[in-house]
Amino acid sequence: MQLDDKDLFLRHQNTTHGGLPYFYYGLGLSLLSFFFASQGYGQTDQIDQTRKEITLSTESISETRIDLLNSLAEQLYNYDPDSTFFYASIALDLSEKLDYPNGKIDALRNLGGYYNRISNYDSALYFLDLGLEAVKELDYPRGRANLLSTKARTLEDKGYLTSSFEYYLRALKIKEENGLIKELPSTLNNLGLLAYRTNEYEKSLSYFLRARQIREELGLTQNIESLLTNIALVYKEQNRIDEALQLLQESKKAAEESDDTYLLSIVQHNLGLIAYGQGNYTESIELLESALKLDQSMDELYGVTKDLIALARSHLALSNSQIAYGYLQEALKLSVDTDARILHAEIHELISEIYEKRQEWALALTYHKKFKEIHDHIFNLDSASRRKDFEERYKLEREEAAYRQLLKDREQEKDQETAQILRNGIIVLLLIMSLALIISVRSVKIHRQARQQATKQKDELERLYLETTQQKEKIESIARNLEDVNRTKDRLFSIVSHDLRSPINSLNSLMQYTLDENLSQEEFTEISHKLKNEVEHVHFTLLNLLQWAKTQMRGITTDPTHISIEELVGETLDLYRPVAQSKEIKIHNTIDPSISCWADREQVNLIFRNLVNNALKFTHQGGEISLIAEKILPATWKFTVQDSGIGMDEHTVNKLFKADFNNKRYGTAGEKGTGLGLILVKDFVEKNGGELTVESELGVGSRFSFTLPETN
């Protein structure tokens, strides 16, 4: 917990609205405490631990001991301010003896905080200004930020709100620039309190929510209920009552579990105010009486005064003016003891209202005059505060300008020191390089001939190695080419021996039969059709074989031109019409005659022939085949050959485009194939800038689709 940290409900100063004090809607219950209310047992344990470390320290004067003394002074601030002064004074004395500037800065801040704690603001500013002057010469951003935060708090207590806000913002910027992330929530919390005090509720809420986010991201959720209470009370001012009640109930539960009387009294008080604002006056009285008992048990006079005033208002709302008058008389005595001028004014105003309702005009006028006197006095104090505020802002601007100039001067000094070090380094480096050069020259003379000889031998070996490598690569390339040629030869011979031998033998037998037998005209016509089919099959097989062999030997070359798709499809259908008639297969051609594409005519012709041939081969007697064209892009056509044949399973589809000559499929009438047709189709489609896709379902049929560009 930092010494400059505080909570909204603990530090709320008296504000006015429309010239009249609205304190019962305020958040403040104490003008004295600057820390989270729920320090609890964890803070006490930390104090005991720090004391133990100081006791165990063997060195009477050391930086570690000074840091521990400053830490203990800060921790005792909320519990025993006199001890804060005691330990901070010792830390200051030891820091000066040891010449430990960081310890001195922290000690001065603790002393400033002590005087702020006892409301001696001028002394507080004296020590804080000493610290700010000393820290200018140091690279100690945390110390500077803490001094600025503590001074901001002191200026706030004096009523210099604008200057306080600027000091807080300066502290926040230093913490952000130097990565002091864990210390950001405290400054954000203070900024939220200050924004709340000036009725800037949206700004206040943004600071609180950012503080909450950082604490949750860092896992610093212990004692976060105080921050949640701050957020809840801003919600209350924004009339977001349900959200405010939810957070207050969470804080109440945490306070009850940790036996945190202070936080519980605050929550109960503000729950009572919300109940009052909702018109639930009986509930408001019960909650405020609970808060009153808690504050009385802690002898928290300011909190007791606030509770009494709020109870008086609730009873006035229920027309219990006599009870309200009793609470106000008790509060009036306490407000004098605590020197709470604004509360004092509020009490006089409420008593005046009571006498006015009783029609006791003289007493009503007396108390109203007293209220005006106090109110005007406060206004005069505020005017003086605004003048002082301006002076402090001017002082801050001068200090910041001086600090920036100091940083600039330091940077210049560092640059000069760096330049001097660089110059010295260059001189030393030049001397070393000179010595190394002399040694190197002598060494070069001694080893030059040996190095030249070694270089010559190395070059010769590299030349021989390069020649050997090139010859090896050439031989390996020739071997690979020979292997490819040999594989192509084997495939050609395999196809010729297996796929051409049978149809040629069949053709030879038919021709011999026509020569040996005395055939009738009908028999001759039938045999002629068979001969024609056999010849076309052999021709188609040879055409595929030659095209494939050419692609294997020389690769695929295309000669694209504008071609008429109708013309190619017509040639293919004319070629296979006898086959379709023999199997009673209906072919539906829906391709628009006007379609043209930019592609190699012969390759596209072979694509259609192979796809129609396959469809006829694997379609049953009486089946159907469809040729379809559709435009899928502005310059791309998609062509589909669809059949109602035997179809394929996924395994067969995956093997379609692999040159496997051992696994062949026969057509529905026992037709044979080489297995090269679809491989050529795929290669030709892709070479012409298209894409081939296959969809098939076993027993339903297949659908082969490919795309071609319409233009170049």
Residue 661 sits at φ, ψ, to 5 deg, of -85, -5
CA distances from 479 to 7, 330, 472, 491, 699 (A): 87, 114, 10, 18, 47
Q: Residue 1: what pLDDT?
A: 44
> In the predicted model, what is the mean pLDDT of the chain?
80
Q: Is 534 exposed, middle or buried (0-12, 13-18, 19+ CB in 10 A)?
A: buried
Whose tokens are 């081969």? That residue is 617
Helix 121-135 with 141-157: angle, nearest 10 deg: 160
- pLDDT, residue 31, reads 28
Listed range (80-94, 468-482, 527-541, 619-633) with the worst mean pLDDT: 527-541
How far is 217 from 215, CA to CA, in rounded Å? 6
pLDDT tens-digit series, residues 204-234: 999 999 999 998 898 887 778 888 888 998 9
State residue 692 phi and psi, 5-degree precision. -105, 130
For helices 521-554 and 501-516, the axis angle rounded to 10 degrees is 160
What domains can you pick out in the chain, each with its CATH number? 53-138 (1.25.40.10), 147-258 (1.25.40.10), 260-359 (1.25.40.10), 561-709 (3.30.565.10)
- Beta carbons within 8 Å of 685's beta carbon, 6+ residues apart: 607, 691, 692, 706, 707, 708
Range 502-515 average pLDDT: 63
Supply the pLDDT for residue 34. 30
Cα(61)–Cα(25) distance, rounded to whole angstroms? 51
Lowest mean pLDDT among 35-39, 470-474, 507-511: 35-39
Q: pTM of the entire structure?
A: 0.48
**Winning range, highest mean pLDDT, from 107-111, 120-124, 495-499:** 107-111
How crowded is residue 360: how many other Cβ atoms within 10 Å of its Cβ? Answer: 12
Residue 2 or residue 345, greater confidence: 345
Q: In which residue are the tokens 């709302």 written?
A: 317
Beta bridge partners of 596: 564
Give residue 273's pLDDT.
92
SS (H, E, C) 488-556: HHHHHHHHHHHHHHHHHHHHHHHHHHHHHCCCCHHHHHHHHHHHHHHHHHHHHHHHHHHHHHHHHHHCC
What are the DSSP calls for 213-273, one per residue?
HHHHHTT--TTTHHHHHHHHHHHHHTT-HHHHHHHHHHHHHHHHHHT-HHHHHHHHHHHHH
Q: 235, 240, 208: which is closest to 224 by C-alpha?
A: 208
Going by pLDDT thresholds of 50, 70 and 90, the confidence category of residue 143 is very high
| Among 287, 206, 253, CA closest to 24 | 287
First-to-last C-alpha distance (Å) of the chain? 77
Report the C-alpha gap between 9 and 364 in whole angstroms: 32
> Is residue 617 pLDDT above 80, yes or no?
yes
The first and second tokens of residue 176, run together, are 């952000």
Confidence of residue 346 (pLDDT cuts 50, 70, 90): confident
Binned at pLDDT 50, 70 and 90, residue 455 comes out as confident
List the one residue out of 170, 235, 159 whose CA is nearest residue 204. 235
**Which region among 488-492, 508-512, 542-546 has the lowest average model confidence (pLDDT)?**
488-492
- Sequence-separated (6 or more) residues with CB below 8 Å from residue 420: none
Output phi, psi for 619, to 5 deg: -110, 135
pLDDT in tens, 387-432: 455 455 545 555 665 556 666 666 777 777 787 888 888 888 888 8
User: Do residues 347 and 328 lie in contact, with contact meaning Cβ atoms separated by under 8 Å?
Assistant: yes
pLDDT confidence of residue 283:
94
Contact (CB, 8 A) for 617 and 668: yes
Looking at 32-80, list the stretches that DSSP marks H as alpha helix, in order from N- to C-terminal side.
Answer: 40-56, 63-75
How far, in Å, CA of 201 to CA of 233, rounded? 10
Q: Is the pLDDT of residue 492 over 60?
A: no
Query: What tokens were used for 50?
Result: 């720090």
- Other CB atoms within 10 A of residue 416 CB: 10
Distance separating alpha carbons of residues 689 and 62, to the nearest angstrom: 83
Q: Going edge to edge, which strands form the sheet with 624-633? A: 586-589, 624-633, 636-643, 701-709, 692-697
Band (701; pLDDT cuts 50, 70, 90)? very high
Number of other CB atoms surrounding residue 518 within 10 Å: 6
**Structure confidence by residue, pLDDT tens digits, 255-310:** 888 888 888 998 999 999 999 999 999 999 999 999 999 988 888 887 898 899 99
Reading the block at residue 317, the tokens are: 């709302």
